[in-house]
Amino acid sequence: MRSASSPSTLIEDIRTEWQLSTKISELETSGRKVLIMEGKLVTFLINTSKHTRDRFLKATVQMDCVVCYRCSPAQKGNLVDILSQYKKPKGDKIAAIGDGGNDVGMIQNADVGIGLSGREGRQAALAADFSLEKFEHLLKLLLWHGRLSYKRSAQLVQYIIYRGMLVGVIHAAFIATYSFISIPLFHGGMQMGYTTIFTFLPTLAIVLDEDISVNRI
Q: What is the 3-state secondary structure (H, E, C) of the chain?
A: CCCCCCCEEEECCCCCHHHHHHHHHHHHHHCCCEEEEECHHHHHHHHCCHHHHHHHHHHHCCCCEEEEECCCHHHHHHHHHHHHHHHHHHCCCCEEEECCHHHHHHHHHCCEEEEECECCECHHHHHCCEEECCHHHHHHHHHHHHHHHHHHHHHHHHHHHHHHHHHHHHHHHHHHHCCCCCCCCCCHHHHHHHHCCCCHHHHHHHHHCCCCCHHHC
Chain-wide mean pLDDT for the chain?
Answer: 85
Angle at 134 between CA 131 and CA 135, to 5 degrees: 95
pLDDT digits over 43-52, tens only? Answer: 898 888 888 9
Q: Where in the chain is the domain with CATH 3.40.50?
A: 8-134
Average pLDDT value for residue range 75-85: 90
Q: Look at residue 142 and tell me whether its pLDDT is greater than 50.
A: yes
Q: How many CA atoms lie within 13 A of 96 on its CB side?
A: 28
Cα distances (Å, whole numbers) of residue 19 to 25, 26, 42, 213: 10, 11, 15, 52
pLDDT digits over 157-215, tens only? Answer: 998 898 888 888 888 888 888 877 777 777 777 777 887 777 888 888 887 777 777 77
pLDDT digits over 19-43, tens only? Answer: 999 988 988 888 888 999 989 999 8
pTM score > 0.85 for this model?
no
Q: Look at residue 1 and tell me whether its pLDDT is greater than 70.
A: no
CATH architecture of structural domain 8-134: 3-Layer(aba) Sandwich (3.40)
CB atoms within 10 A of CB 2: 9
Average pLDDT value for residue range 86-113: 88
